[in-house]
Amino acid sequence: MAVTKGPSRPARVGAPRPQPAARLSPQERAAAGKSMRSAVPRSSHAPWRPGSSRPDPIALLEEQAAGRVPALLPVRYGRMSVSQFAFFRGAAYVMASDLAMSPTTGIRVQLCGDAHLSNFGEFASPERNLLFDLNDFDETLPGPWEWDVKRLAASIAVAARDRSIGRKRRIEIVRDAVGQYRNAMHRFASMKALDVWYARVDESVLADELGRLKPRQAREVASEVARARRKNSARAFAKLGYRVNGGARIAADPPLIVPIEDLVTDAQAGQLRKALHSVVEAYRASLSGDLGHLVDRYDYADAAHKVVGVGSVGTRDWVVLLLGRDSDDPLFLQVKEARRSSLEAFVGKSEFDNQGQRVVEGQRLMQAASDIFLGWLRTTDIDGESRDFYIRQLWDWKGSADMTTMRPSDMAAYGRLCAWTLARAHARSGDAIGIAAYLGSTDVFDRAIAAFAEDYADQNERDYTALLQAIESGRLEARRQ
């Protein structure tokens, strides 16, 4: 594993990131946004009808599998086969292909690219406050703001179907969430730039929300917050590690967790450990000086390949165990492969040559606050291939909602929270005034997106059935783990 160090300044190769149209006055930006309704009526977002030339969704999944770890692809397909929502989570590329055919206003923001319900959650800020925000940026790129809204809305419709929530209530929940996005964007459009930048859902906001919930809901949210607070490196070590000879190692759980020594020969192991020190040093260069000094206080102890998520299964994902003052001071870092975004074929290449930097820069732009250990590197992996990675803490008060247990009222409240958060992320990078003016003060757009979400949930169901048929026919191998 050799390190390829990048240039001292980041190489930028694609279109520049979205700009907030600062040279125009607020009145001019609002007028431009409102005028877009003529070219792209808000009602035009409603229909979803697949064309005869729509690509085979299974072929798209097979195309996306190129370059992934072949032995893990059955795990990916097995996890996607669990439910329609699980399939939706793994099919961001399929939906991006579909959205490329949909109407857009031309206003670009930094997209999450995969803004479904399970990609929001809690984590710790550098000040050790609990925040709620987007938490997955593997697909992030600048693009049409409507795409994130439609993916979020469709995810609500799909998740609601998995919970056997009726059509009328599903539509209400989606409309409620989209209405929250619209209203939040109007608020952000009226705010000063710094006020938008500092807006966040923190513990005080969550406490206010708890006061509005029913007692049962408040207890459940408080319990989830408490669970998130307990997820840290010490807790991760209790689950993943063990002590040996005064040091520490990561416990094997193949094929989901495979220590690095089990992936190479004994002769290679020593050389690999030495190379990992160089990897950590290269990663250090992507951090600010003070955080690099903090990383220097830790020593490499062990590493393992770990299977994570649904859509990410098959990518190279390493867990690196570092030790501070002693074996009771662990730090787990996740070193996750950053492949080209699923959106790239449809919205253009990133301005950043390193895909790990693409993820990190997008995350920092969209999140209210980010993990202090967030960084990137390019390295030659153990198979001799050069790959980009981004690095973050494995656990740092991280928590997410369980879609499989949500009642209709829970999903409605959670959808509103996610929609507000998405609007804030878009307002940080794009033209909030133009978007707000386009959306208007009525629910025309809300209704259109709710209709789209129902149609696309139908499409997702058909694609999910196609996945099950591909597994049954032997075209795809699936293994649930």
> Tens digits of per-residue pLDDT, 215-257?
776 676 667 666 666 777 778 888 888 898 878 999 998 888 9
Whether 177 has a pLDDT exceeding 50, the answer reads yes
* Cβ neighbours of residue 164 closer than 8 Å, sequence gap 6 or more: none
Q: How far is CA 63 from CA 66, 168, 239, 349, 409, in A?
A: 6, 37, 35, 18, 39
Whether 76 has a pLDDT exceeding 90, the answer reads yes
CA distance 481 to 71: 13
Q: What is the pLDDT of residues 284-338, one digit of tens each?
A: 888 888 998 899 899 888 888 888 877 788 788 889 999 998 888 999 999 999 9
Mean pLDDT, the chain, as a whole number? 88
CA distance 199 to 54: 40
User: How many Å is the Cα radius of gyration of the chain?
Assistant: 22
> Which residues, listed in sequence order, are joined to residue 244 by a DSSP beta bridge?
247
CA distance 217 to 99: 35
Whether 444 has a pLDDT exceeding 90, the answer reads yes
> Which residues, listed in sequence order, are joined to residue 247 by a DSSP beta bridge?
244
Strands 141-144 and 317-323 come out as unpaired
Confidence at 130, pLDDT banded by 50, 70, 90: confident
User: Mean pLDDT across the stretch 82-101?
Assistant: 96
pTM: 0.90
Whether 7 has a pLDDT exceeding 50, the answer reads no
Tell me which residue of 481, 147, 158, 154 sits closest to 341, measured CA to CA: 147
- Top-confidence residue, 246 or 66: 66
- Top-confidence residue, 21 or 345: 345
Percent of the chain exceeding pLDDT 90 equals 58
Q: What is the pLDDT of residues 356-398, one digit of tens each?
A: 999 999 999 999 999 899 999 998 776 778 889 999 998 777 7
Whether 3 has a pLDDT exceeding 60, the answer reads no
CA distance 249 to 308: 19
**Residue 123: count of CB within 10 angstroms of its CB:** 23
Whether 141 has a pLDDT exceeding 60, the answer reads yes
Q: How many helices (H) and strands (E) does the chain have?
A: 18, 12
Q: What pLDDT does residue 306 have?
A: 86
Contact predicate 311/94, CB 8 Å: no
Residue 165 in 3-state DSSP?
coil
Q: What pLDDT does residue 129 have?
A: 82
> Which residues, listed in sequence order, are joined to residue 387 by a DSSP beta bridge?
379
Whether 468 has a pLDDT exceeding 50, the answer reads yes
Structure tokens at 466: 């196609």
Q: What pLDDT does residue 212 have?
A: 66
Contact predicate 377/389, CB 8 Å: yes
Q: What is the pLDDT of residues 38-51, one digit of tens each?
A: 999 999 999 999 98
Taken as a whole, the chain contains a residue count of 481
User: Mean pLDDT across the stretch 200-218?
Assistant: 70
For 190-253, the DSSP string reads TS-HHHHHH--B-HHHHHHHHHHS-HHHHHHHHHHHHHHHH-SHHHHHHHHEEEETTEEEEPPB
**Residue 376: count of CB within 10 angstroms of its CB:** 28
Tell me which residue of 469, 480, 481, 387 sits closest to 61, measured CA to CA: 469
* Cβ neighbours of residue 106 closer than 8 Å, sequence gap 6 or more: 36, 144
Q: What pLDDT does residue 138 have?
A: 95
Q: Quick one: residue 245, left, alpha or beta (phi over 0 = left, psi -120 to 50 = alpha)?
A: left
CA distance 126 to 372: 6
Confidence at 12, pLDDT banded by 50, 70, 90: very low
Residue 59 identity: A
- Top-confidence residue, 4 or 454: 454
User: Mean pLDDT across the stretch 56-64?
Assistant: 96
Structure tokens at 86: 């699980």
Q: What pLDDT does residue 21 have?
A: 56
* Cβ neighbours of residue 252 closer than 8 Å, sequence gap 6 or more: 258, 259, 262, 304
